[in-house]
Structure 1
């Protein structure tokens, strides 16, 4: 029975870490797409200012750009939703259901990323403005139409604007809104449940009931296990008064009259209770370390995502709302787009840093 509880605690301790590791692995996949698909194609264009891949490669590369950034946003949303469900959902006590939920969310995240990226196959074209120079570019259909027919600008502006709004909304603004809502709800729950309550249960007067596991509550619960029965000697006064009592004997509670072989064993029940208490305290410590690590890593990943993605997407909104203002003032800040790439570079350092520090903490604790 004790081994079963040990195994159960070990499995429960691993679930938070294993779910976070799965989410980080998929975030790595999305970051690798950004680094090895977007960055090389962007670097080649900046070096040559010429598109030499042909029409099909133009469409496929632009689609993969969208898939890379969209999948990164979607996985960050999955991390925020996992934090939310771990607080509010009843499946937080069911590791199998929680893992199944994570896999469903990740499958939906990647499927959505490819679906949103599909329209790029029809929006982008390889265009050669000067045939005699053999100089081509990978452009959107609206840019090509404006170059070929100046009178088409007014008619195409609405379609291009709606496309741009939908594009940046799906890639950043809608995911960012979901992430902010998730963490507002989580922080609200933590604030409400961390407020001290004057209610106590039974003899648990050592700490206030806050709705959260604390060191005080764990130690108080551990102290409520019945201690080993104490040994006592009969009083000499009673021995002198009662002539029938033989030589002094060591008695255990009131069961001294029983033969040694018929006395109930106290080692199997009481000692195992003490062992279970120490195991519970140790497992509670490791579980709390894993939970705090998961919260810190997920929170920093979300903060890095917002900080790196927000400037460029604000710039894109300015471009949509007032293109003249963008052309005159904000075009010099287009480099903010590269901050989104920097997010893919910094993510592995964030959870790698905490993974190393937690290993040191566990080694010191042991």
Structure 2
């Protein structure tokens, strides 16, 4: 059933003086709301233009910038903020200053579409940034830039598509409503027009047709469904995703730090073992004492430096005479030490070739750290990795706190007001609207904070 505003009120409908007086009662909060919009436009307009121009300049003049995921997300967030500033904020200032809508029906529908679209896109891009950081945190050891960039592009497409689809109902819900006596034009949703019609009919004790009553029932159902869908998709579900994403990021960083503490001890022991064996090999053969120093039979053995290397000892040959005899031979034994039967000079030992034990060391280190040996400097790994992870966690906590505080501070009043209006009795809705309507303007302040959080602050961290 389709009932137009003309059928509800007619072009010659009169506006009750009491209703007009209630409109005048809004002026105090309206002035405050207009002032907030003006300040936001003066400050946020140039700031967002600068941030957008700077991001585009980086994208055009730097070849690697097109692969910067955060830069691509920032540009899309800038677009949403620019729409908020120069479409929503600017038209709100003009609209609230005149208190009537003089743009006609088509402009009424288009403006309402872009109002909602900018808010949806803003919220969805912030969610995309959180999800991108979550993905990066969980794939540090196997991170692939191409895959991450592809994920970001998919999220951006989904964000734009969802914002367009969820904003389309505005085109059908809002329309130009005209009252002739006195002349008054307003861009209003269909349920507001219906409620006004019922109020006027009740005020003048005019009966309402069954068709209008049935239309009102269907309008009430669609109003309830749309408001809940709008409320959940524009704020509460994105807010939940953002909170869970940053909790997951911090949890993963903490897990990496804790896991690294155990790996660090193992790698430190591994390095000590490697250092000891390297020292033995650098000293090289002969690995013995000068018998003249002690006058005792010497214990001569050589160790390759790993648990897998068997001790090597010198055992003199049974053949040959004293001066010109054979120098002896190298034998391996399972015993830790082997005493020689006679004193021997160190220079009598033949060269001992170092055992190739580094492949085992490399494999063990790779397994402990998860990083290929060629890509890691284990001399500094234990010293720097823990502090780097702790510093990353601290910066992430600071950034997460800023994002969550800004998001909830500027978005909660608007959405909480909507929630209160939805669950409040009809008699209390007017009081809620009068006292808290100006808080809707706080959502525009978020468009000022976004370039600071994701632009200036981000570049300083980088």
TM-score of the aligned structures, taking structure 1 as reference length: 0.69
Matched, 1:55 2:105: yes
Matched, 1:310 2:412: yes
The alpha carbon displacement at 1:131 in A equals: 6.7
Aligned position for 2:259: 211
1:132/1:310 CA distance change after superposition, 3 Å:
closer
Aligned with 2:223 (options 136, 160, 182): 160
Q: How many corresponding residue pairs?
A: 319
RMSD of equivalent CA atoms: 4.5
Q: Distance in 2 between matches of 1:164 and 1:330?
A: 16
1:345/1:276 CA distance change after superposition, 3 Å:
same
1:330/1:230 CA distance change after superposition, 3 Å:
same
Aligned position for 1:81: 131
Matched, 1:355 2:453: no
1:20/1:274 CA distance change after superposition, 3 Å:
closer
Deviation larger for 169-178 or 53-62: 169-178
Aligned position for 1:129: 179
The alpha carbon displacement at 1:45 in A equals: 0.8
The alpha carbon displacement at 1:102 in A equals: 1.7
Q: Distance in 2 between matches of 1:347 and 1:43?
A: 22
The alpha carbon displacement at 1:142 in A equals: 1.9
Aligned position for 1:169: 232
Q: Distance in 2 between matches of 1:47 and 1:33?
A: 20
The C-alpha deviation readout for 1:240-293, integer Å capped at 9, x for no partner, is 999789x998x998469xxxxxxx9xxxxx9x9899446868995897566764
Q: Distance in 1 between matches of 2:350 and 2:101?
A: 92
Aligned position for 1:297: 399
Aligned position for 2:164: 114
* Matched-pair contact (CA < 8 Å) for 1:91–1:97: no
Q: Distance in 2 between matches of 1:223 and 1:90?
A: 24
Matched, 1:220 2:268: yes
5+ residue gaps, structure 2: 1-63, 202-207, 298-321, 328-344, 357-361, 363-372
5+ residue gaps, structure 1: 1-13, 195-208, 257-263, 265-269, 360-366
Aligned position for 2:189: 140
Aligned with 2:442 (options 336, 339, 347): 339
TM-score of the aligned structures, taking structure 2 as reference length: 0.56
* Matched-pair contact (CA < 8 Å) for 2:243–2:404: no
Q: Distance in 2 between matches of 1:140 and 1:129?
A: 15
* Superposition map of 1:156-305 within 5 A: 156-187=219-250, 193=255, 210-212=258-260, 220=268, 223=271, 226-227=274-275, 229-231=281-283, 236-237=290-291, 254=352, 276-277=377-378, 288=389, 293=395, 296-305=398-407
Matched, 1:18 2:18: no
The alpha carbon displacement at 1:216 in A equals: 5.1
Q: Distance in 2 between matches of 1:275 and 1:76?
A: 34
The C-alpha deviation readout for 1:223-255, integer Å capped at 9, x for no partner, is 45844553478755469999789x998x99846
SS of 2:259's partner is coil
Q: Distance in 2 between matches of 1:164 and 1:351?
A: 30
* Matched-pair contact (CA < 8 Å) for 1:293–1:354: no
1:66/1:275 CA distance change after superposition, 3 Å:
closer
Deviation larger for 279-288 or 100-109: 279-288
Aligned position for 1:201: none
Q: Distance in 1 between matches of 2:394 and 2:386?
A: 11
Deviation larger for 60-69 or 346-355: 346-355
SS of 1:309's partner is helix
The alpha carbon displacement at 1:297 in A equals: 3.0
Aligned position for 1:72: 122
